[in-house]
Amino acid sequence: MKNIDWKNLSFGYVKTDYNVRCYYRNGEWGKIETSSSEHIPMHMAATCLHYGQEAFEGMKAYRGKDGQVRLFRWEENCKRLERSAEAIMMQPVPMEIFRDACFKVIALNKDYIPPYGTGGSLYIRPLLIGTGAKVGVSPADEYLFIIFVTPVGPYFKEGFKPVKMQLARDYDRAAPLGTGHVKVGGNYAASLRAGVRAHKEGYAATIFADAKTKQYIDEAGPANFFGIKNGKYITPDSHTILPSITNMSLRELAKDVGLVVENRNIPIEELATFEEAGACGTAAVISPIEVIHDRETGKVYQISKNGEPGPWSQKLYNYLTGIQFGEVEDKFNWCTVVPC
Ligand code: PLP
Ligand code: COI
């Protein structure tokens, strides 16, 4: 076990001992290699550097109550990486390579998995990049799949405390028929200006309006949005948001605790009617929303009245994290125990 201040981890980079790499060359994937270097030597004309051939994933492994290490729904992340690869014409990573690489990098860095009870987890960051050299705009012939890990605490410094969000219409993170539904770096580059401005103006993140009509709630920074009212869990149905695996899981859990799930457009004015709202994702877990300020109209949507998470959000958070930390029966079979 490493000498790390586990209880005060933020969502940042902490160097670990190893990462794993696998190269696609001459039409085939090679063997998974172990590296202790934090650097990637690459050709200056690699397509990831010029033409954005880059996709990534985010997962977490949790040290459970029983001491076992659980990886949450890795198959879904693998499938999503495949969809991202297809969307920008990269070579998809075979499922066995994805799985073996995850297990290997977790086991190699097991001393960096935060102990049970600290609230921390091991963040797993798979990355797929075009490394082949091209000058004309075309897909690379060579790819690198790499996974590094880093121990993390909460994404928003507030943790499981309601945050302030800013609704913006003057920037889009993704175009209506673009790449918002996959996890490619370009979406994040496009979200930076709005995100940095939101931070400067005192908000945790930007909530984007849908790029086409600007009438509906779209993505909530690096997470999906959900609202709760009248016994319903409501979350946007949009081609420009990333299909969140956390949200997919919360929809199941919401049904299980008796909420009705609606996956539909959410008009911005409907924000005034929610009893609870939150942002959800691997990094964000559930981040309850206290208030949303509409930057353009000046409207204030006060959601949490007492600065505390609402009862449904609390219930869903306990249920989800309970499964992840092995405190609650994993009846959906979402966790894989990692041998380490
Ligand atoms: N939306 C965006 C833009 C994200 O970056 C993420 C994080 O992966 C999510 C939503 C949440 O997805 P997931 O729950 O699969 O982590
Ligand atoms: C995640 O939740 O895994 C993310 O990728 C969000 C963000 C850190 C980009």
Nearest atom, ligand 2, residue 284 CA: 2
Region 67-79: mean pLDDT is 98
Predicted confidence (pLDDT) per residue in 185-220, tens digit = 999 999 999 999 999 999 999 999 999 999 999 999
Q: With a 6 A CB cut-off, is 205 part of the ligand 2 pocket?
A: no
> Which of the 8 DSSP states describes residue 184?
B
Nearest atom, ligand 1, residue 183 CA: 5
Q: What is the pLDDT of residue 50?
A: 98
Q: What is the pLDDT of residue 70?
A: 98
Please state, in angstroms and rounded to a whole number, the distance separating the CA atoms of residues 278 and 281.
10
Q: What is the pLDDT of residue 191?
A: 98
Q: What is the pLDDT of residue 340?
A: 87
Please state, in angstroms and rounded to a whole number, the distance separating the CA atoms of residues 97 and 332.
24
Both structure tokens of 34: 């172990």
Residue 251 pLDDT > 90: yes
Residue 222 pLDDT > 90: yes
Q: What is the pLDDT of residue 103?
A: 98
The reply to whether CATH 3.40.50.300 applies to domain 163-324 is no
Pocket test for ligand 2, best of 282, 285, 324 (most atoms within 8 A of CB): 282
Q: What is the CATH number of domain 6-152?
A: 3.30.470.10
Which of 15, 183, 214, 232 is the catalytic position?
A: 183
Same fold, 6-152 and 163-324: no
Three-class secondary structure of residue 229 per DSSP: strand
Of all protein residues, the one whose alpha carbon is nearest to atom 6 of ligand 2 is 222
User: Who contacts 124 (Cβ-Cβ below 8 Å, separation ≥6)?
Assistant: 57, 58, 59, 60, 61, 71, 102, 105, 106, 147, 149
Residue 180 pLDDT > 90: yes
Predicted confidence (pLDDT) per residue in 258-280, tens digit = 999 999 999 999 999 999 999 99
- What are the beta bridge partners of residue 288? 278
Give catalytic status of residue 331 as yes or no. no
Q: Where are the domains of the chain?
A: 6-152, 163-324
Predicted confidence (pLDDT) per residue in 121-172, tens digit = 999 999 999 999 999 999 999 999 999 999 999 898 888 999 999 999 999 9
Q: Considering only CA atoms, which of 19, 55, 266 is closest in space to residue 148?
A: 19
Q: With a 6 A CB cut-off, is 304 part of the ligand 2 pocket?
A: no
